[in-house]
Structure 1
Amino acid sequence: MDFTYYVAFALSLVIGFVGALIFVMLKGRSYWRFALTTLLVAVFADFALLIDWSYADEMTDVLLLDAAFFTAYGLVGCAIGAVPVLGARGIYRLVRARRTR
């Protein structure tokens, strides 16, 4: 496993965490839109920051493999990064709902 994939996973964790913070601050309601947006941002950031584009013509199959791995790591990383924020939001809403009864 290449070091690039570790960096892609770490970048996805950060994007998922920050995306979840923004989602909560904006009082977002569509989790599907949140998931799709953070995944796309993570994959585009991985492609922009982690791929050496000088070999793009010669190594198309490697780019497709990288795209698949970046998508998988982006999905998992964004989900894991978002869990603490969305979990805290859920607990806060549950406690607030029980107090108002």
Structure 2
Amino acid sequence: LGIPADKAVHFLMFFPLPIIAFFALGRKNGSTLEVVGSIISVAAFSCVLAGITEIVQGTLPYRSEDINDFKADCLAIVLASIAVLIVHLIRSRKKHHK
């Protein structure tokens, strides 16, 4: 695929973050709109955290900041957030069809 190893590592490190955060903190039993709001909040916070980690790395003498690392982090966050939404919609549909 030609994806640099460090970008894949960034993706894999940040992919679980919104999933864990949503199920620990999010509104899992609210309306779909409330759940979407929680997912967006978790994703936004996660992207801010990813940005902060890159900025901090830029201040360290043995590290460097890289916008492409941030992009890999945010891509993972967005895809994981979409997965959370899909799981919620499937569970919600099953619950309403019983």
TM-score range, shorter chain: 0.5 to 0.7
Instruction: Return closer, same or farther for 1:54/1:35 CA change in 2, 3 Å cut-off.
Output: closer
Secondary structure (helix, strand or coil) at the match of 2:26 reads: helix
| Aligned: 1:36 with 2:40 | yes
1:8 is matched with: 14
Q: CA RMSD of the aligned region, Å? A: 3.2
| Aligned: 1:45 with 2:49 | yes
Higher gyration radius (CA): 1
Instruction: Return closer, same or farther for 1:32/1:93 CA change in 2, 3 Å cut-off.
Output: same
TM-score (norm 1): 0.60
Q: Which runs of 5+ in 1 are unaligned?
A: 96-101
Question: For this pair of structures, how many residues does the alignment match?
Answer: 89
Q: For residues 49 and 31 of structure 2, what CA distance do their matches in structure 1 show? A: 23
1:90 is matched with: 93
1:41-89 superposed Cα distances (whole Å, 9 cap, x missing partner): 22133345x54714249955x1x22222222111101222343333212
TM-score (norm 2): 0.61
Check conservation: 1:5, 1:70, Cα contact below 8 A: yes
Q: Which runs of 5+ in 2 are unaligned?
A: none
